[in-house]
Amino acid sequence: MAESVAVSTPTPQPRRALHFEWVIPVLIRPRQAFADIAAQTRSVWLTPILILTIAALMHTVIAGGINQAAAASGSAPLPPGFEYYTPEQQAQYQQAASGMQSPVIVYGVRPIVSVFVVWVGWLIIGGLLHLILTLMGGRSSTLITMNIVAWAGLPIAVRSLVQFMFMLITHQLVPGQGLSGFVPTEQGVVFVILRQFLGLFDIYMIWQIVLLVIGVRTSSALSRVRAWISVLLTFAILIFLQTLIGFAGSLLNSLSITQPFLF
């Protein structure tokens, strides 16, 4: 009599929403990590976006606390040329600066804005890059591009964490964003635009660009030249827009605009 043999069917593994096992490899072994990410047929962007969100919140809260303490002690930095303001303009500036240090602004509005910038920045970069890749002949889907853009943004989280540690230890704001410290502090349209423009450049942004190029080459089958052109064109458009926004803001309120959270 033949005996029936029971064949066990393997239980399918549930899909995980978070993939922290890729965080370190993306930063130190990006080629293999992006090959794994590009091979995914589902959304795997949540982990890096959460890390970026938490890092942005930590940075915003500690910077807001330092600004609030400086304003309370009367040691808050003044804008260039403040001594040439009229008494009415100086009073208006002091009143506006005091209002911007209220707890609602520091611990409510600014953290919400920082989270908004992270998520919207990711959507804008992903959408713009995918459009340019398509025009360049890339074959990756929108989903894969959004995954690549999210994971390539991890250097920005590293920057926020490094600045957070600096501010936590020294109780001071990070002096000069990016390369803006090389621009003289004189007033004038040219100097203001240069400060806004160079303030966007630092080693972390270069790191992010390199990761994006690696991810694009892995996922879209583009040549090295076309991958670099696509990524650099995307960032050129974004930097141009951010420079204009920062310049317009500085003209409107005569304040030095802090560096936007670029992805």
Q: How would you write 199-250 as a 3-class SS string? A: CCCCHHHHHHHHHHHHHHHHHHCCCHHHHHHHHHHHHHHHHHHHHHHHHHHH
What is the predicted pLDDT for the residue at 229? 96
In a domain, 18, yes or no: no
Predicted pLDDT of residue 139: 84
Question: For the residues 45-61, what does the mean pLDDT come to?
Answer: 95
Asked whether residue 218 is domain-assigned, the answer is yes
Average pLDDT, integer, range 24-50: 94
Confidence of residue 7 (pLDDT cuts 50, 70, 90): very low
Domain residues for the domain of 217 are: 37-71+81-253
Q: Domain tally for the chain?
A: 1
Instruction: Report pLDDT for 243.
Output: 75
Query: Which pLDDT score is estimated for 95?
Result: 66
Tell me which residue has tokens 């076309």: 226
Encode pLDDT of 112-159 as tens digits.
999 999 999 999 999 999 999 999 988 889 999 999 999 999 999 999
Average pLDDT value for the chain? 79
Q: Answer whether residue 208 is part of any domain.
A: yes
In the structure, what pLDDT confidence band is assigned to residue 239 with cuts at 50, 70 and 90? confident
CA torsion, ordered 208, 145, 116, 18, to nearest 10 deg: -90
pLDDT score recorded for residue 30: 95
Dihedral sign from CA coordinates of 35, 41, 46, 52: positive
Count CB atoms within 10 A of the CB of residue 87: 7
| Closest to 79 in 3D by CA, of 70, 65, 68, 90 | 90
Distance, CA of 89 to CA of 103 (rounded, Å): 24
Confidence (pLDDT) at 88: 74
**Would you state the pLDDT for residue 231?**
96
Residue 161 has pLDDT above 50, yes or no: yes
- Residue 34 pLDDT greater than 90, yes or no: yes
Q: What is the pLDDT of residue 103?
A: 79
Instruction: Tokens for 75, please give them.
Output: 């040691």
Q: Is residue 19 part of a domain?
A: no
Rounded CA separation 211/230 (Å): 13
Looking at residue 258, the DSSP 8-state letter turns out to be P
Instruction: Tell me if 31 is assigned to some domain.
Output: no
Higher pLDDT, 161 or 3: 161
94: phi then psi, degrees, rounded to nearest 5: -60, -40
For position 158, what pLDDT does the model report? Answer: 95
Q: Indicate the angle between helix axes 142-152 and 203-220, nearest 10 degrees.
A: 150
Q: Is residue 137 part of a domain?
A: yes
In a domain, 109, yes or no: yes
Give me the mean pLDDT over the 228-248 stretch.
85
Task: Tell me, yes or no, whether 225 lies in a domain.
Answer: yes
pLDDT digits (tens, 9 = 90+) for 202-217: 889 999 999 999 999 9
Stretch among 200-204, 235-239, 246-250, 259-263 having the lowest mean pLDDT: 259-263
Residue 1 has pLDDT above 50, yes or no: no
Q: Which residues contact 109 (CB under 8 A, 6 or more apart)?
A: none
- The percent helix, strand, coil of the chain (3-state, each to 5) is 70, 0, 30
C-beta of residue 236 within 8 angstroms of C-beta of residue 79: no
